[in-house]
Amino acid sequence: MCKNIKRRISIAVKTTILARQPIFNAEQKTYAYELLYRGLMEVGDDAMTATVLSNTLNSFGMDAVTNGHFIFVNISKSFLLSEFPKILPAGKTILEIKEDVSADQDVIAAMKYWKSKGLRIALDNFTSVNAQHEQLLAYADIIKINTLSYEGELAELVQTLRIHPVKILAEKVETLEQFETCQQLGFDYFQGYFFCKPLLMVNQQSFQSNNAQLLQLLSHILAAESPKELEYEIAHNLALSYKLLRYINSASVGLRQPISSIGHALALIGLDNLRVWVSMLLMSSLSQGKPDALILLSFCRGRFLEQLASKHGNKQESNDYFILGMFSLLDALLNQSVNEVIDTISLPELVRNGLLNASSEAGIRLNLIQTLEHGDWTQLDHILPSVALDDEQITAIYSEAIQWSDEKNALINSML
């Protein structure tokens, strides 16, 4: 490979940002993740695209990307017709192609070939069924419909597709009402950030009653100003004490000596670290009955903002930034507005500013991770200069945050 090509690949890898977006089944369980990436197709060469995608996925960590689920990967027609899909994991990958790709012999042959190799096929932005589409449908596994931009009757299109052996995915589902409508229409899978929205109920009394104790405890723990004060709050909740000690003594935390008491833990790891870990356990308890992706996203945001603060030398504030990221979804967990949540819990000033003031430094950093999650690359370019990190550094922080949140969530789930 000539030096110029190597240099172009190196630049492409450094300017590629990779993110993942969850896709749910009808029970709001995570079925797959779609890879969102900037910088690959712009390189203008399928060989380079494949190399950059392979290098990025390897550095990102395939296990971190999939977490045991399928991955959707957007590809061009020429990429489909090449040998490059073989770099993607068979049995885990769904090749996503535009529905306007012509159903010529080469495309049909490529679809059949890659399906025989363990890859699946999804058709994106599907709008109608005609003679050409019929040929593609014969080899497709999943049909994606953009529910926001589709101008016809969704019910009619779903009914038409039902005669084919395909699953139907609703894309751009941004509210719980949209999710329920698509569910009633018979969609199989759902993609969008509807799960991050609070379900604002007319009568919250029973919900608040069930969670008031947890929320009160969380508020006391965040407000604790001394190790003794925090130890008192934790020690008086036997279930929390038990879970916390199990968590701290797990291999995931990696302490060299076993911890026998909350006081011992405070002496060894400090007030701020223990406050973060207790908050994670309580947030997991609050997430019961919610989509699994919600607490994962909460942890991921927290870890991302924590590491971002550390990169900027703000280690003193890194724990508060973790709380900010995690609590940015507290409204969805509690089915209350942000203002109502803030009125019921004592929060560090940085966290409060980040949640209420989008123009504050904390608010801008929170907007950064939210923009990355949505794959809004134009908006991301506007935000990145304010954090003084390049694409490669952002991707490294994000990929580590994903892997960290997956591991911690699995560990906490084992204790619930």
Contacts of residue 236, Cβ cutoff 8 Å, sequence gap at least 6: none
Residues 105, 8 share a domain: yes
Residues 315, 353 share a domain: yes
Is 246 within the bounds of a domain? yes
pTM of the model: 0.81
Residues 162, 257 share a domain: no
Is 166 within the bounds of a domain? yes
Residues 240, 382 share a domain: yes
Residues 155, 9 share a domain: yes
Residues 275, 213 share a domain: yes
Distance, CA of 369 to chain centre: 10
Reading the chain (416 residues) residue by residue, the pLDDT tens digits are: 444 434 444 444 455 677 889 999 999 999 999 988 765 545 455 665 676 567 656 666 677 777 889 999 888 888 899 888 988 888 999 999 876 788 899 999 999 999 999 999 999 988 777 777 788 888 999 999 998 878 778 899 999 999 899 999 999 999 889 999 999 999 999 999 998 877 654 344 444 444 666 777 777 777 777 777 777 777 777 777 777 777 777 755 566 677 778 788 777 777 777 778 778 887 888 788 888 899 999 999 999 999 999 988 777 789 899 999 999 998 888 888 888 878 777 788 999 999 999 999 999 999 999 999 998 988 998 998 988 888 888 888 998 999 899 888 888 877 66
For the chain, how big is the Rg over CA atoms in Å?
23
- CB atoms under 10 Å from CB of 21, counted, come to 17
Contacts of residue 120, Cβ cutoff 8 Å, sequence gap at least 6: 70, 93, 94, 95, 141, 142
Is 271 within the bounds of a domain? yes
- CATH code assigned at 168: 3.20.20.450
Contacts of residue 113, Cβ cutoff 8 Å, sequence gap at least 6: none
Q: Could you say which of 131, 162, 195 is where a domain stops?
A: 195
Q: Could you say which of 195, 230, 255 is where a domain stops?
A: 195
Residues 309, 287 share a domain: yes
Give pLDDT, residue 57: 67
Is 194 in contact with 291 (CB distance < 8 Å)?
Answer: no
Residues 211, 73 share a domain: no
Is 279 within the bounds of a domain? yes
Residues 161, 226 share a domain: no
> C-alpha distances in angstroms, 211 versus 171, 206, 254?
32, 9, 31
Report CA torsion sign: 304, 196, 380, 340. negative
Residues 137, 266 share a domain: no
- CATH code assigned at 358: 1.10.3210.10
Q: Could you say which of 195, 221, 244 is where a domain stops?
A: 195
**Bridging pattern class, strands 167-171 and 142-146:** parallel
Is 223 within the bounds of a domain? yes
Residues 284, 182 share a domain: no
124 three-class SS? strand
Is 173 within the bounds of a domain? yes
Is 200 within the bounds of a domain? no
Residues 222, 189 share a domain: no
- Phi/psi-derived region of residue 68, left when phi > 0, alpha when psi is between -120 and 50, beta in every other case: left
User: How many domains is the chain partitioned into structurally?
Assistant: 2
Contacts of residue 268, Cβ cutoff 8 Å, sequence gap at least 6: 255, 257, 259
Is 139 within the bounds of a domain? yes
What range defines the domain where residue 386 resides?
205-413
